[in-house]
């Protein structure tokens, strides 16, 4: 089964992202927009795994992150990978306790290594993918808007993360929760 590990977003944050996507859509750029209901903060994409690995992975994640406490994040600026001059992925950046987020992601990565998964090839760059550019048409007004837009302030707590299964379908991926790891309040 195709899997990944990610932080879910509260409904009100997904609603804010949907409003931002609607504003960005109005520029008519050739972008395949992510379904707001499926936007999440990815820690690690695992790819196809044997379902028999799930219990060991879940236990490894729980043990490795059991000391972690909830922390706050909020939506911030809009950007693109690799950059705004050559956008291929449109994203929303994050602010708040980004150091806490990065520390949690490192522990998730270590738990995955311990459970037998390959190390991540790229450095962790916290973001929420809003869409993927399909062709370079009408990008200039979209990028100008992204540069001039005030930062977003929609806050949310990071108090848990999930192992998700992702089923690819013509109308978009369907994500379902396989396991939840809660961060413990003191």
Domain ranges of the chain: 2-182
The topology under which CATH files domain 2-182 is Cyclic Phosphodiesterase; Chain: A, (3.90.1140)
Q: What is the 3-state secondary structure (H, E, C) of the chain?
A: CEEEEEECCCHHHHHHHHHHHHHHHCCCCCEEECCHHHCCEEEEEEEECCHHHHHHHHHHHHHHHCCCCCEEEEEEEEEEECCCCCCCEEEEEEEECHHHHHHHHHHHHHHHHHCCCCCCCCCCCCCEEEEEECCCCCHHHHHHHHHHCCCCCCEEEECEEEEEEEECCCCCCEEEEEEEEECCCC
Q: What is the mean pLDDT of the chain?
A: 94
Residue 161 has pLDDT above 80, yes or no: yes
Asked whether the predicted pLDDT for residue 183 surpasses 90, the reply is: yes
pLDDT at residue 186, rounded to an integer: 62
């Amino acid at each position: 089964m195709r899997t990944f590990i990610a932080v879910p977003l509260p409904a009100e944050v997904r609603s804010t992202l949907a409003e931002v996507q609607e504003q960005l859509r109005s520029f008519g750029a050739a972008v395949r927009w992510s379904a707001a209901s499926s936007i999440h903060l990815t820690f690690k994409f695992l790819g196809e795994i044997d379902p028999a690995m799930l219990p060991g992975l879940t236990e490894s994640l729980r043990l490795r992150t059991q000391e972690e406490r909830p922390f706050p994040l909020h939506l911030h600026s809009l950007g693109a990978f690799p950059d705004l001059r050559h956008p291929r992925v449109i994203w929303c950046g994050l602010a708040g306790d980004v150091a806490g987020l990065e520390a949690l992601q490192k522990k998730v990565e270590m738990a995955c290594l311990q459970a037998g998964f390959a190390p991540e090839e790229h450095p962790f760059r916290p973001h929420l993918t809003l869409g993927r550019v399909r062709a370079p048409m009408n990008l200039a007004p979209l990028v100008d808007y992204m540069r001039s837009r005030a930062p977003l302030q929609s806050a949310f707590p990071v108090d848990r993360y999930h192992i998700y299964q992702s089923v690819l379908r013509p109308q978009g991926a369907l994500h379902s929760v396989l396991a939840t790891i809660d961060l413990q309040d003191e």
